[in-house]
């Protein structure tokens, strides 16, 4: 639905949208109206990403939820994000009533960037990193050094932060965020 102050403003908006290729006139339920084009849908998605992503202070952390990584989460991922002004989100620590896949997708879309840690080589981490890339959301790639050789060949060309322990992770991740994610 489109509203404007007066008819001339309405016509101007309609013509501008048509010239941009975002809408076309066409039948809607036996009436003539505006129909959103594929280009228009792409523009809406781009605006949604820009509005949410550029202002968001949320960081989605895709990682293995194994207790062996609890210290890496607390003293590495979460702490590094916090000290540079971002709030790290780990899905197993978030309360929700949705299907987990829907909640993950929604939270990735709301995030400024995603950290993908491949320690443990969880399939979900690969999916979540790929989804973020597809949306144009920056991904920071990490892996504990003893597991780097086992990462899938499709991700090896990315510049991974290779970490030894949570202290090493904190220092390297903080430095990478400051260098590559504008505030």
What is the mean pLDDT of the segment spanning 102-128? 93
For 4-22, the pLDDT digits (tens) are 788 888 778 888 888 898 8
Quick check: 153 and 99 in contact, CB under 8 A? no
Banded pLDDT at 55 (limits 50, 70, 90): confident
- The answer to whether residue 50 scores a pLDDT higher than 70 is no
Would you state the structure tokens that stand for residue 175, as one six-digit string? 């430095």
Q: What are the domain boundaries of the chain?
A: 7-36, 50-180
Q: What is the pLDDT of residues 131-159, one digit of tens each?
A: 999 988 999 999 999 988 888 888 888 99
Architecture category of domain 50-180 in CATH: 3-Layer(aba) Sandwich (3.40)
Angle at 33 between CA 28 and CA 37, to 5 degrees: 85
Q: How far is CA 160 from CA 2, 72, 75, 116, 175, in A?
A: 47, 16, 19, 9, 13
> pLDDT band at 53, cuts 50/70/90?
low
Q: What is the pLDDT of residue 28?
A: 66
Gap between the Cα atoms of 55 and 7, Å rounded: 35
């Amino acid at each position: 639905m489109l509203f404007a102050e007066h008819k001339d403003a309405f016509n101007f908006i309609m013509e501008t949208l048509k010239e941009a290729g975002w809408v076309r006139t066409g039948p809607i339920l036996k009436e003539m109206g505006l129909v959103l084009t594929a280009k228009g849908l792409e523009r809406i998605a781009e605006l949604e990403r820009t509005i949410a992503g550029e202002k968001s202070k949320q960081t989605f952390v895709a990682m293995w939820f194994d207790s062996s990584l609890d210290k890496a989460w607390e003293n590495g991922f979460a702490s590094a994000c916090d000290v540079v002004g971002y709030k790290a989100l780990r899905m197993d620590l978030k309360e929700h009533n949705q299907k987990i896949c829907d909640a993950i997708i929604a939270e990735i879309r709301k995030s400024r960037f995603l950290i993908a840690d491949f320690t443990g080589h969880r399939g979900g981490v690969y999916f979540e990193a790929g989804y973020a890339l597809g949306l144009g959301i920056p991904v920071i790639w990490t892996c504990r050094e003893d597991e780097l050789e086992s990462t899938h060949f499709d991700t090896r060309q990315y510049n991974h932060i290779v970490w030894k322990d949570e202290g090493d992770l904190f220092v390297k991740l903080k430095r990478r965020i400051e260098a590559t994610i504008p505030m």
